[in-house]
Amino acid sequence: MIELLIVLGLLILLGSLLFWILIKAFRSISVTAGETRAITSLRLNIDWLIFDLKHVGFGISLNETSVVLAYCNGSGTVNNDACKVAQSIKPAFGKLLLLKETTNIADTGCRDKDFGFGFAIWNGSAVVYNATNGCDVCSDDNIVCVWQTTEKHYLTTYKCCPNATEAPTNDLAVEFPIDTESACDNSTGNPACCQNQNCTGIAWYLKSSSSVESCFQQTYIFYRKTTKSTGGFQSALPVINCVADWDVWFYIDTDNDGIPDTWLNEIPDGSYVTTNSDLKSKLKLVKIYMLVQASYALDPNYDFCKIAAKDCDNSCGIGYILADVLKDADGTTHKVCLKHPDNPDWVHYRWKIVSVPVDNFPDIPAP
């Protein structure tokens, strides 16, 4: 009987150890799976922002006087269109990226006659070339185009395929179909609109994520919001969940020698970049930074700052994590600091510091 009790006790002890080992293994698998899912979703969704940046200024004429790319870094020191939009949207930390173009990736194609991308060639009497995602700009009189000369000067905004007698021009022209739901030209009523033609204004920013239960406290949703043709903005589209903070930096060529030399954290900056011509000649690289939650369960044995060897609450001060250090050609350094949640439990979650470089901006309008 004693031997049986000893064996039974050993079995219970081994069973308990095995149970806790399995629990820990399943928890690790769950955390890893959640981290993989979060990172995969992040990579897919951030392509939206990359697409918008790559096509900034698409379909915008040389006549446009508003700057097609603007960033408000939340400091309150710059009175640009992005900061004006931020005053009404009130994004987290006051940060907002504003892009202007005729492209709208959220509404590309033929649906509802809203063409979000492409162009057509007018030969003086008819459309002779159509590069609008396989859609026919002449299929309906309600499809509207921004008309430009071949030198990119604005002519008018009119239907894409008029008859010869009502055509805006008898000369060669380039037409850019617009998304009629979002394209606007009243910059007085909405600074995200263009001043001299119809275009779609696209705002990227952070806002409260209280509706997403899996997100840690003091994280936000990364939103994409477009203008509305009748004024104001359309409903915001949530793109990335659980973002603690973000920032954008611009690498520019101040002396026009073809080599970038200075990092800026705001556009227009009132000094080097104030016009679209400045953007075209000076902007060489954009870097987007984000601190994104990459797991959905707390792990008390994990410390993001120690295990991941991150600079937390040190170089950037209490409450911030160092995401990068950028250096100008003259040796001046700029710290990229991102705000992390105040709750001390934040370190027991996995986090991803995202750094996305974007270059080549062929559509920025300039002579």
* Residue whose structure tokens are 């990092």: 263
Query: What is the domain partition of the chain in residue ranges?
Result: 38-102+191-359, 111-177
Per residue in 336-352, pLDDT tens?
999 999 999 999 999 99
Cβ atoms 156, 173 nearer than 8 A? no
- Give pLDDT, residue 137: 84
- Give pLDDT, residue 309: 84
Per residue in 80-124, pLDDT tens?
999 999 999 999 999 999 999 998 877 666 656 566 678 999 999
- Give pLDDT, residue 237: 92
Q: How far from the centroid of its chain's Cα atoms is residue 241's Cα?
A: 13
CA dihedral 101, 99, 357, 312 (to 10 degrees): -160
Cα 88-70-184 angle, rounded to 5 deg: 65
Under-50 pLDDT residues of the chain: 19, 22-41
Cβ atoms 180, 144 nearer than 8 A? yes
pTM summary value: 0.87
Distance CA 172, CA 165 (A): 15
Distance CA 243, CA 205 (A): 10
- Give pLDDT, residue 106: 75
Q: How far from the centroid of its chain's Cα atoms is residue 227's Cα?
A: 15
Distance CA 115, CA 130 (A): 12
